[in-house]
Amino acid sequence: MAVVTNKHHLPGFHSLESSAIIASASDFAGSPRQGAGWCPRCPIHSVLEETASRGSLTGGGRTMLIISHRGVCARNPENTLEAFQAAIALGVDGIETDVRLSADRLPVLCHDRITPDGREVSRLTRDELAEALGHPVPTLDEALDIWASGLWNVEIKTPAAAEATHEVLREYAGSHNILITSFWHNLVETTGQDRRLRYGALLANRPADHESLNAMLDRLPSLSCVVWDYEVLDSALLGQLLDRGIKSLCYGVKTKEEHAACWTLPLSGVITDHPDFLLSYGSLR
């Protein structure tokens, strides 16, 4: 896929009074819906979706999923049960977490490839990893067990973790809303056969044009969403995805102004280190 490697600011921002695409966490549990009614260069029109088969998990009042990035980490280490519980207590719609495979073949929740003392996570057992990080390291199933009513966005960090991750997620597919994402797009597609789960591709670079984006989508027919770096969001490409019934999430949002701007875009959700920014702004809408 042709991409531009430099990052771009959003073209055509509009006032914060523009309406946004209505989404609920349960949208990721069913078939993708066809987007409509949005013009990439003018204020976003309201788009109503049919009631999701498993009901709205946002309480019916929010228009964009607020997804906590690795939990709330202000007072807790990231990707820990305590960080997840803090996010749940805030009232988020979903939690994003990262899965790697430990040396004892467990799907453990850890973002970085290397520990602070320079060792590879894949070469450490779960107990050794916990010792290196200075806190308990949960497995994927332990995290899923604490919350069944929200969206879990599970990022597979390496191909080695794919099989163990899917083995766990298949057990929870009937009771949990799960979105699997990865920067390894071929991995997303080759494992995207269980229709009880939803699949998304992470993008850190912007496709060069509409043809490049279409080519990527054609190679990845299992996709239900694309997860964009905020700095490479492009309003025209977001509209193109909606035309194909594919939702968009974004990550990497930093300032309060950037968080507020997300409400003006056809985003189904934002993965954020600061869910409080969106929760406070969303309550005023």
pLDDT in tens, 80-97: 999 999 999 999 999 999
Question: What is the rounded CA–CA span in Å between residue 177 and residue 43?
Answer: 31
**Amino acid identity for residue 155 in this structure:** E
- Tokens representing 71 are 């939990």
- Tokens representing 112 are 């970085």
Q: What is the mean pLDDT of residues 106-110?
A: 98
Question: What is the rounded CA–CA span in Å between residue 151 and residue 129?
Answer: 27
Q: What is the mean pLDDT of residues 5-30?
A: 37
Q: Which residue bears the tokens 């869910």?
A: 275
Please indicate whether residue 40 or residue 249 has the higher confidence score (pLDDT): 249
Backbone dihedral angles phi then psi of residue 284, each to the nearest 5 degrees:
-95, -5
Q: What is the mean pLDDT of residues 95-112?
A: 98
Q: What is the mean pLDDT of residues 225-251?
A: 96
Question: What is the rounded CA–CA span in Å between residue 22 and residue 185?
Answer: 27
Q: What is the mean pLDDT of residues 169-198?
A: 90
Given a contact cutoff of 8 angstroms between Cβ atoms, the answer to whether 67 and 270 are in contact is yes
Q: What is the pLDDT of residue 192?
A: 72
SS3 letters across the chain: CCEECCCCCCCCCCCCCCCCCCCCHHHHHCCCCCCCCCCCCCCCCCCCCCCCCCCCCCCCCCCCEEEEECCCCCCCCCCCHHHHHHHHHHCCCEEEEEEEECCCCCEEECCCCECCCCCEHHHCCHHHHHHHHCCCCCEHHHHHHCCCCCEEEEEECCHHHHHHHHHHHHHHCCCCEEEEEECCHHHHHHCCCCCCCEEEEEECCEECCHHHHHHHHHHCCCEEEEEEEHHHCCHHHHHHHHHCCCEEEEECCCCHHHHHHHCCCCCCEEEECCHHHHHHHHCCC
- Tokens representing 23 are 């989404």
Please indicate whether residue 252 or residue 188 has the higher confidence score (pLDDT): 252
Q: What is the mean pLDDT of residues 197-208?
A: 94
pLDDT in tens, 140-157: 999 999 999 999 999 999
Inform me whether the pLDDT recorded for 35 exceeds 80. no
Q: What is the mean pLDDT of the chain?
A: 81
Largest CA distance in the chain: 54
Cβ contacts of 55 within 8 Å, gap of 6 or more: 24, 26
Please indicate whether residue 102 or residue 51 has the higher confidence score (pLDDT): 102
Q: What is the pLDDT of residue 48?
A: 21
The domain locations on the chain are 15-282
Q: What is the pLDDT of residue 24?
A: 52
The Cβ-side half-sphere exposure at 84, using a 13 Å CA radius, reads: 24
CATH of the domain spanning 15-282 = 3.20.20.190
- Tokens representing 42 are 């003018």
What pLDDT band is residue 2 in, cutting at 50, 70 and 90?
very low
Please indicate whether residue 29 or residue 249 has the higher confidence score (pLDDT): 249
Inform me whether the pLDDT recorded for 44 exceeds 70. no
Q: What is the pLDDT of residue 27?
A: 55
